[in-house]
Amino acid sequence: MAGYPTRAAGHPDYSSTSNSKFIPAIWAGKIAPKFYKTTVLGDISNTDYEGDVRNKGDSVHIRTRPTVTIRDYEVGGGLTYEKPDSTDVDLLLNRAKYFGAEVNDVDAHQSDLNLMNEFTDDASEQMAITVDTDVLGGIYSSANASNAGVTAGAVSSSFNLGSAAAALSVTKANVIDIITRHCSVLDESNVSGQKWIVLPIWMCNRIMNSDLKDASLSGDETSIIRNGRIGMISDMMIYKSNSLTVTGSNTNIIAGVKSCVAFAAQITKVEDLRNPNDFGDIVRGLNVYGYKVINDTGITHGVVTPG
């Protein structure tokens, strides 16, 4: 645009025929509220332990429920009393991600967009994807040995959840069976609470084309073919995600209950400042977080491949 400075090679041009203003005070309030809205972690994990998380390296002490021993009773045989004890689990906030974006004063004047709002909106979405991918990629390896593999099931060892060497081929004909296997494995582990499972998009597509086109099978009034909603299968809530770990054609899927996974995150700093090296503004944000499987019997791990 005539009258404006030339720009260095590689510097983006946001120029337009109109200009806009932006309000720096808004930026800090945009990231944190949107984080849990765009991640599955808030729905599949216990986030009650966040507390006063402020810096990388902070830790949250979690008290686990002790196991009380049940004994046979004999008249006149006396009673044995115990002092139930539990082991504290430390949730270490040992992960940190950040973003940083700058807007030159010239670009801010020329643009017809509120550039900082655009950048912080995208930063929230990208942060959620990054953290989701990290956590979902780490949870499945913590599943108890009886809750994974081709002989899963703490009682029966009769459920094939797939393995890296023998992934389950998923079709519309067997997708419901595979999902309910995870539900049964959790039942054999005697865990309580709302069950969930996280599936890749392609596997959810198999559900949409399965016998669940009959609304009565999912308990919904409207067929999921018409309302586009996966909902629940058996007593397990279905979540879809592109952030599951994929190796070749194999996808690692996980199921569990919220109480068995602890997650804590804190957008510790979102700040705006003038660019010390140019005429413009900088916005940057730091997210500190951590996660831990606090009961490995409440998590299942399966390996699937498109069939």
Reading the block at residue 158, the tokens are 């009769």
Which DSSP letter does residue 148 get?
B
Q: Which CATH code is given to the segment(s) 24-135+262-289?
A: 3.30.2400
**Mean pLDDT taken over the chain:** 77
Is the pTM value of this prediction over 0.85? no
Q: At 28, is the secondary structure helix, strand, or coil? A: coil
pLDDT at 257 exceeding the cut of 90: yes
* Structure confidence by residue, pLDDT tens digits, 65-118: 667 888 888 888 888 888 877 666 777 788 888 888 777 765 555 454 466 667
> What secondary structure does DSSP assign to 198-222, as a single string?
EE-HHHHHHHHTSGGGSHHHHT-SS
For 222, the token pair is 């409207």
β-bridge partners, 152: 159
Taking Cα atoms as reference points, which of 306, 184, 201 lies closest to residue 255? 184
Residue 283 bridge partners (DSSP) = 101, 272
CB atoms within 10 A of CB 130: 15
Report pLDDT digits (tens) over 181-199. 999 999 999 998 889 999 9
pLDDT top residue among 118 and 245: 245
Contact between residue 198 and residue 246 where contact means Cβ atoms under 8 Å apart:
no
pLDDT at 167 over 90: yes
Residue 165 — pLDDT band, cuts 50, 70, 90? very high
Query: Of the candidates 179, 151, 182, which has an alpha carbon nearest to the alpha carbon of residue 298?
Result: 182
pLDDT value for 300:
97
Of residues 271, 269, 285, the one with CA closest to residue 127: 285
Q: What are phi and psi of 10, to 5 degrees?
A: 85, -5
pLDDT tier at 5, thresholds 50, 70, 90: very low
The rounded distance, in Å, linking the Cα atoms of 194 and 209 is: 25
Residue ranges per structural domain of the chain: 24-135+262-289, 140-261+296-306
Cβ-contact 103, 280 below 8 angstroms? yes
Spell out the residues 6+ positions from residue 283 whose beta carbon is closer than 8 angstroms to its own.
Answer: 24, 27, 100, 101, 102, 116, 119, 120, 270, 271, 272
d(CA 12, CA 212): 48
Strand pairing report for 246-247 and 250-257 = antiparallel
Q: How far apart are CA 211 and CA 107, in angstroms?
A: 54
